[in-house]
A and B are shown apart, each in its own frame.
Chain A
Amino acid sequence: MPNRPAFLLGIGIMAVSAYAAIAALAWPLKTALFPLVISIPLFVLATIEVVSLWVSGARFSTTKDFQRPPAEVPGTVAALRSLAAAGWILGFFAAILLFGFLVAVPVFLLAYLRFQARESWLFSIVFTAVVWAVFWGLFDYALHLPFASGMLF
């Protein structure tokens, strides 16, 4: 089985570049020129990557990028924790959409600290209050950032 994230990325880029090239065909030449010049070679490069993943199996090139430390956490635990993290991130976004920033921030902080981090109620409430006060004081009161209201409030 090839390196799954690399495979997904390769397939994704193939799809995106193919779509980009096909969509560009409908535009006037001066609009389509650059997208075509980029998307066609990109499709070829992504195809080479996907094919070579199948041929040579899982390969992980050494990048000059931040790299994960050697696995200290077992694979299943890591997968579960990744899913939980993704769930919290998406949940926070959903809360912002529903309630707006001003309500979603304290709700998320309190819920995360109490139920995910398993901090005590007292710590969770105090920590949430302090962070929320800084957030409100800086972004809302001082900088007047126009926070949109949520769908419910």
Chain B
Amino acid sequence: MIEALFQGLLQVLAWKPLLFMLIGIVLGFWVGLLPGLGGATTLALMLPFIYGMQPIEAFAFLLGMHSVVATTGDITSILFGVPGEATTAAIILDGHAMAKKGEAGRALGAALSSSLVGAMIGAFALAAAVPIVRPLVLSFGSPELFMLAIVGLAFIAALSAEGGRGMLRGFTAGGLGLLLSMVGQDPQAGVARYTFNTLYLWQGLDLVPVLVGLFAIPELVDLAVRGTSIAGELPVGKLTKGALEGVKDTFRHFWLTIRCSLIGTFIGIMPGLGGSVAQWLAYGHAAQSARTAEERKGFGNGDVRGVIGPGAACNSKEGGSLVPTVAFGVPGSTAMAILLGGFFLLGLVPGPDMLTTHLTVTFSMVWTIVLANVITVTACFLFLDRLARLTSVPAHRLIPVILVLVFIGSYTTNNQYADILVTLIFGAVGWLMVSAGWPRAPFVLGLVLGKIAENYLYISVARYEVAWLTRPVVVVLFALAVVVIVYPILRARRLARREANA
């Protein structure tokens, strides 16, 4: 096994795979920066190019591209408040708030270094977990996966706003997201739900136009109202120093970085939950790590932990999601489903073969993730000054350029004008939510989890009837969901009592 590990490294470092990996990294770098142009879409577009490549070259190219998309997507999210990727939306909440406070360099430093740590942990998980994880994945059926979705939603709804009123709004926003996820053809009976006889809505609401509208449009309006640069009148500061501070932050909160990386890896391993879930769960966990009411208020206002958590989870999930793809042929996400297509194009069959005959190829994937992230993060640090200075460009020059990117990012989802209309509608919803003090994170998670949760619930009921509720892991996860909801209320009461006594 150790021999295969080194063989994998040596083969990735051979000139051809290395060249293909570098080409992939350059592509992934720009795909990540451009809002809406998703990593999964680009993987699909690049798939035909792997004909004729050797497996290690092909995976160096595809994974090299895919594993850096989330890293550079963080940059767009932090600097402009526009999600570079659907999987990098959570980092906006605190990352962009830091950019507005003139701490763009620090936020980018924290995001990049936590991404790197996350990617390493994800890659390590891929290397180490394959023999261990098999019984775990096989023990999780539809009931457990449904409950995992519910825990995720409870987590973010309960933690995304302060107090009972905030929790009410969190759950309402989450419910709205769940409801909107039902737009489109019902997967069980094929009935068109809430489509208003429109063909466009039959496939449901795509995540990218919704996210771009929800996050980017309110930011653009806010920028136009303030009339200053993103960082306002605040000096952007010495960026390299700020970035170093961000790197130090990652190591200052090292255990948080590790925990969020593990959350990302775990979500990645669980088939069907996807990267969008990982970042929000990690954000929720980071917010939960605040010990005092004062600390908790910092989240959403530029707390570096709100950057570190999603940054780490977003990249660690890549290694994690490769585990079920490689070991069982069960893709952990859309991108992995496309990558699975790559396996078949190359004549490889995921499963035991990948752990025996083609073990070197499996380890070459681990090394590709590690090397691609090291190269990307180094490149990002080299260009950090230029990237972060974009926050001091006057708003009136940035707004039209960002708006063009927003509309193109949205349009490229289905190449239909209706995508832009969806962006505009959710832009208005996002603006209302920000104006009203409603959290947007539960809404997004509801939208992401809705279809998955419905499918798992349907299969659970069809397969086990009511008995699925008594399965041990389901009971444990249900208890966890209750704790997640009740604990913040109890803690708020205890804090209020303590403050009243003081």
Q: Do A and B bind each other?
A: yes
Contacts of A3 in B (CB 8 A): 436-437
> Which residue of chain A has its CB nearest to the CB of B170?
A63
B457 interfacial by beta-carbon distance below 8 Å: yes
Contacts of B227 in A (CB 8 A): 73, 81
Contacts of A17 in B (CB 8 A): 175-176, 179
Assess whether B417 is in contact with A62, with CB atoms less than 8 Å apart. Answer: no
Which of A67, A139, A148 counts the most B-chain CB atoms under 10 A from its CB? Answer: A67
State the Cβ distance, B196 to closest chain A Cβ, in Å: 10
Assess whether A9 is in contact with B436, with CB atoms less than 8 Å apart. Answer: yes
Contacts of B161 in A (CB 8 A): 61-64
A28 vs B189: C-alpha distance when bound (angstroms): 8
State the Cβ distance, B444 to closest chain A Cβ, in Å: 11
> Which residue of chain A has its CB nearest to the CB of B306?
A64
A67 vs B283: C-alpha distance when bound (angstroms): 16
Assess whether A86 is in contact with B221, with CB atoms less than 8 Å apart. Answer: yes
Query: Which chain A residues numbered 1 to 52 have a C-beta less than 8 Å away from chain B?
Result: 3, 5-6, 8-9, 12-13, 16-17, 20, 23-24, 27-28, 30-31, 33-35, 38-39, 41-42, 45-46, 48-49, 52
Interface string of B270-308 (1 = CB under 8 A from A): 000000000000010001000000001101110000100
Contacts of A122 in B (CB 8 A): none
Q: How many residue pairs bridge A and B at CB < 8 Å? A: 221
> Which residue of chain B has its CB nearest to the CB of A7?
B436
> Which residue of chain A has its CB nearest to the CB of B156?
A64
Which of B221, B300, B394, B458 counts the most A-chain CB atoms under 10 A from its CB? Answer: B221
Among A16, A27, A67, the residue within 8 A (CB) of B179 is A16
Contacts of B162 in A (CB 8 A): 61-63
Contact residue range for chain B? 35 or more
B438 interfacial by beta-carbon distance below 8 Å: yes
B399 interfacial by beta-carbon distance below 8 Å: yes
State the Cβ distance, B296 to closest chain A Cβ, in Å: 8
State the Cβ distance, A18 to closest chain B Cβ, in Å: 11
Contacts of B416 in A (CB 8 A): 148
Interface string of A74-86 (1 = CB under 8 A from B): 0000100110111
Task: Select the stretch in B353-361, B404-412, B477-485 that faces chain A.
Answer: B404-412
Contacts of B301 in A (CB 8 A): 67
Contacts of B399 in A (CB 8 A): 85, 88, 112
A81 vs B228: C-alpha distance when bound (angstroms): 13
Contact residue range for chain A? 35 or more
Assess whether A13 is in contact with B434, with CB atoms less than 8 Å apart. Answer: no
A99 interfacial by beta-carbon distance below 8 Å: no
Contacts of B93 in A (CB 8 A): 64-66
Contacts A20-B194, A113-B396; A81 near B97 (Cβ below 8 A):
no
Contacts of A41 in B (CB 8 A): 175
State the Cβ distance, A91 to closest chain B Cβ, in Å: 10
> Which residue of chain A has its CB nearest to the CB of B81?
A66
Contacts of B194 in A (CB 8 A): 20, 23
> Which residue of chain B has its CB nearest to the CB of A21?
B179
A24 vs B92: C-alpha distance when bound (angstroms): 35
Interface string of B423-441 (1 = CB under 8 A from A): 0100101011111111111
Contacts A65-B93, A67-B300, A148-B415; A52 near B179 (Cβ below 8 A):
no
Assess whether A46 is in contact with B172, with CB atoms less than 8 Å apart. Answer: yes
A30 vs B191: C-alpha distance when bound (angstroms): 10
State the Cβ distance, A48 to closest chain B Cβ, in Å: 6
A133 vs B219: C-alpha distance when bound (angstroms): 26
Which of B191, B217, B220 counts the most A-chain CB atoms under 10 A from its CB? Answer: B191
Among B186, B287, B433, the residue within 8 A (CB) of A9 is B433
Assess whether A27 is in contact with B169, with CB atoms less than 8 Å apart. Answer: no
B193 interfacial by beta-carbon distance below 8 Å: yes
Assess whether B166 is in contact with A62, with CB atoms less than 8 Å apart. Answer: yes
Contacts of B97 in A (CB 8 A): 66-67
B224 interfacial by beta-carbon distance below 8 Å: yes
A85 vs B398: C-alpha distance when bound (angstroms): 13
Query: Which chain B residues numbered 303 to 334 have a C-beta less than 8 Å away from chain A?
Result: 306
> Which residue of chain B has its CB nearest to the CB of A39?
B179
Assess whether B437 is in contact with A60, with CB atoms less than 8 Å apart. Answer: yes
Assess whether A93 is in contact with B424, with CB atoms less than 8 Å apart. Answer: yes
Assess whether B166 is in contact with A5, with CB atoms less than 8 Å apart. Answer: no
A129 interfacial by beta-carbon distance below 8 Å: no
Contacts of B434 in A (CB 8 A): 65-68
A34 vs B181: C-alpha distance when bound (angstroms): 11
Among A28, A61, A92, the residue within 8 A (CB) of B163 is A61
A122 vs B9: C-alpha distance when bound (angstroms): 54
B178 interfacial by beta-carbon distance below 8 Å: yes
Assess whether A27 is in contact with B300, with CB atoms less than 8 Å apart. Answer: no
A117 interfacial by beta-carbon distance below 8 Å: yes
A103 interfacial by beta-carbon distance below 8 Å: no
A114 vs B417: C-alpha distance when bound (angstroms): 27
Interface string of A113-153 (1 = CB under 8 A from B): 10011110000000100010001000100000111100000
Assess whether B438 is in contact with A63, with CB atoms less than 8 Å apart. Answer: yes
A interface residues, Cβ below 8 angstroms from B: 3, 5-6, 8-9, 12-13, 16-17, 20, 23-24, 27-28, 30-31, 33-35, 38-39, 41-42, 45-46, 48-49, 52, 59-69, 72-73, 78, 81-82, 84-86, 88-90, 92-93, 96-97, 101, 105, 108-109, 112-113, 116-119, 127, 131, 135, 139, 145-148
Q: A63-B161, A69-B232, A148-B415 are in contact. List 4 more A-B contacts (CB 8 A).
A: A34-B457, A61-B169, A61-B438, A63-B437
Q: What are some 11 contacts across the A-B interface (CB < 8 A)?
A: A5-B431, A8-B432, A17-B176, A28-B189, A34-B454, A35-B179, A42-B179, A64-B159, A93-B420, A108-B404, A113-B397
Q: Which 4 A-B pairs have the closest CB atoms?
A: A117-B396, A6-B436, A5-B435, A85-B224
